[in-house]
Structure 1
Amino acid sequence: MPERHPPLEAIGNSIGELTAAIAARGEPPPVDRWNPEHCGHSGMRIARDGTWYHEGSPINRPAMVRLFATVLRRESDGSHVLVTPAEKLTIDVEATAFRATQMTTSGDGDQRRIGLTLDSGDGLVIGPDHPLSVIETDAGPSPRVAVRFGLEAELARPLYYELAEIALAEGHNPAGVWSDGMFFGLSA
Structure 2
Amino acid sequence: MSSQPPLADLAGLSLAEIARLAEARRLPPVDSWNPTHCGDSEMRIASDGTWYHQGSPIGRPAMVRLFSTILRREPDGGYVLVTPVEKLDIAVDDAPFVAVELKSEGQGRDRRLAFRLNTGDGVVAGAEHPLRFAETGTGPRPYLTVRGGLEALVARAVYYELAALALDDGDALPGVWSDGVFFPFPTT
Q: Which TM-score tier does this pair reach, normalised by the shorter chain?
A: over 0.9
CA distance in 2, matches of 1:60, 1:172: 43
CA deviations 1:10-44 (Å, max 9, x no partner) are 2332211211222332x211111111111100000
Q: Alpha-carbon deviation of 1:174?
A: 2.0
Q: Alpha-carbon deviation of 1:138?
A: 5.1
Unaligned runs of 5+ in 2: none
Give the AA of the match of 1:150: G
The aligned residue for residue 61 of structure 1 is 60
CA distance in 2, matches of 1:11, 1:63: 22
CA distance in 2, matches of 1:149, 1:41: 21
The aligned residue for residue 10 of structure 1 is 10
Q: Alpha-carbon deviation of 1:139?
A: 5.1
1:23-42 map, 5 Å: 23-25=23-25, 27-42=26-41
Aligned length: 185
CA deviations 1:56-112 (Å, max 9, x no partner) are 010000000000000001111111100011111000000100000111111111010
TM-score (normalised: structure 1): 0.93
Task: Label 1:138 to 1:92 Cα distance change in 2 as closer, same or farther (>3 A).
Answer: farther
CA distance in 1, matches of 2:12, 2:157: 17
Does 2:131 correspond to 1:132?
yes
The aligned residue for residue 164 of structure 2 is 165
CA distance in 1, matches of 2:104, 2:134: 23
Task: Compute the RMSD of aligned alpha carbons.
Answer: 1.5
CA deviations 1:138-171 (Å, max 9, x no partner) are 5542100100111000111111111111111111
Give the AA of the match of 2:83: T
**Matched residues, percent identical?**
55
Give the AA of the match of 1:17: E
Give the AA of the match of 1:131: P
Does 2:104 correspond to 1:105?
yes
Unaligned runs of 5+ in 1: none
Give the AA of the match of 2:17: E
CA distance in 2, matches of 1:139, 1:64: 33
User: Where does structure 1 differ by over 4 angstroms across 4 or more consecutive aligned residues?
Assistant: none
